């Protein structure tokens, strides 16, 4: 199974700031990498798939990059509604696997 | 719009069984593969199982192989997860999710989840 490792576990950011989350795969997943946002009490929401393609309705301030084993999710300017937990997931191999998550909190 | 509604969760004793259902609407259910993903209380997401659009290909995480079975009834637009020999560590909110679109298996649309508690 492919192990996904996210860093940092928690990121404290002020609204309006730029922020970057990292996700590393234990072996290459090509570009088969997705990012999800989850707020308390809600189901996850797909943000990015194919490493950099935004899902329907996702604002341009979210961007994904990377391939192989190293990936990043970047917020160009954090908004109040962006404070949440973010998960990466590889879908290159079964079983699909998620990273442990990064909590983005208000500084 | 795409809607997924899970049901069947509840409290069950260790070793017993439970069947979850997921009703899909707002899309052609028979054209999409489906997932089950779970989240233990206060923990991260864990992918559990997936099923192809016609039901012929099934995939499971190792921890549930031989105990859980995923199936679907396309005539009823419903996905199922039969869970046998339940353990305390199966306690979680179980989400069903739809493949984003035909060629992309990423869980793109999610239900609100149903809570399964395994406890004596």
Query: DSSP labels for B82-109?
Result: EE-S--GGG-EEEEEEEEEETTEEEEEE
Q: Please report the number of interchain residue pairs, chain A to chain B, with beta-carbon separation below 8 angstroms.
A: 56
Beta carbons of B100 and A95 less than 8 Å apart: no
CA distance B21 to chain A (A): 17
Number of Cβ within a 10 Å radius of residue A16: 10
**Chain A residue with minimum CA distance to B6:** A43
Residue A5 pLDDT grade (very low, low, confident, very high; cuts 50, 70, 90): very high
Confidence at residue B103, expressed as pLDDT on a 0 to 100 scale: 78
Mutate to test the interface with B, among A43, A54, A87, A99 (most CBs of B within 10 A): A43
Q: Of the candidates B100, B113, B107, B104, which has an alpha carbon nearest to the alpha carbon of residue B38? A: B113
Strands A10-13 and A102-106: parallel
How far is A92 from chain B, CA to nearest CA, in Å?
9
Q: Is B30 helix (H, G, I), strand (E, B) or coil?
A: helix
The pLDDT value recorded for residue B92 is 98
The chain-wide mean pLDDT, for chain A, equals 96
Asked if A97 contacts A2 with a C-beta cutoff of 8 angstroms, the reply is yes
pLDDT tens per residue across span B23-71: 999 999 999 999 999 999 999 999 999 999 999 999 999 999 999 999 9
Distance, CA of B89 to CA of B43 (rounded, Å) = 12
Query: Which tens digit of pLDDT belongs to each residue from A10-43?
Result: 999 999 999 999 999 999 999 999 999 999 999 9
Indicate yes or no: CB of A49 within 8 angstroms of CB of B106.
Answer: yes
Q: Average pLDDT of A88-99?
A: 98
Q: What is the pLDDT of residue B114?
A: 98
Banded pLDDT at A107 (limits 50, 70, 90): confident
Phi, psi angles (nearest 5°) of residue A46: -70, 130
Q: Give the other-Cβ count within 10 Å of A102's Cβ.
A: 22
Compute the average pLDDT of residues A80-99. 97
Cα–Cα distance, A8 to A21 (Å, whole number): 7
How far from B27 is each of A104, B74, B99, B105, B109, CA to CA, in Å?
33, 12, 12, 16, 11
Closest CA–CA distance from residue B45 to any residue of chain A (Å): 6
Q: Are A49 and B110 inside 8 Å of each other by CB? A: no
Per-residue pLDDT band for A67 (boundaries 50, 70, 90) equals very high
Mean pLDDT of B102-119: 94
């Amino acid at each position: 199974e492919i192990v996904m490792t996210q860093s940092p576990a928690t990121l404290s950011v002020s609204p309006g700031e730029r922020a970057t989350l990292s996700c590393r795969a234990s072996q290459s997943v090509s570009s088969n990498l997705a990012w999800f946002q989850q707020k308390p009490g809600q189901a996850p929401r797909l943000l990015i798939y194919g490493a950099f393609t935004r899902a329907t309705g996702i604002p341009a301030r979210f961007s994904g990059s990377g391939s192989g084993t190293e990936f990043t999710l970047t917020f160009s300017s954090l908004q109040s509604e962006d404070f949440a937990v973010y998960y990466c997931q590889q879908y290159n191999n079964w079983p699909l696997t998620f990273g442990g998550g990064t909590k983005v909190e208000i500084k | 719009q795409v809607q997924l509604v899970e049901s069947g969760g509840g409290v069950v004793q260790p070793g017993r069984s439970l069947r979850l259902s997921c009703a899909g609407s707002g899309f052609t259910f028979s054209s999409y593969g489906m997932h089950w993903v779970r989240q233990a209380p206060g923990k991260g997401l864990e992918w559990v199982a997936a099923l192809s659009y016609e039901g012929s290909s099934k995939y499971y995480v190792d921890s549930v192989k031989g105990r859980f079975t995923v199936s679907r009834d396309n005539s009823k637009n419903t996905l199922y997860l039969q869970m046998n020999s339940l353990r305390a560590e199966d306690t979680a909110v179980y989400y069903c999710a739809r493949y984003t679109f035909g060629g992309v298996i990423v869980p793109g649309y999610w239900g609100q989840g149903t809570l399964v508690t395994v406890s004596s």
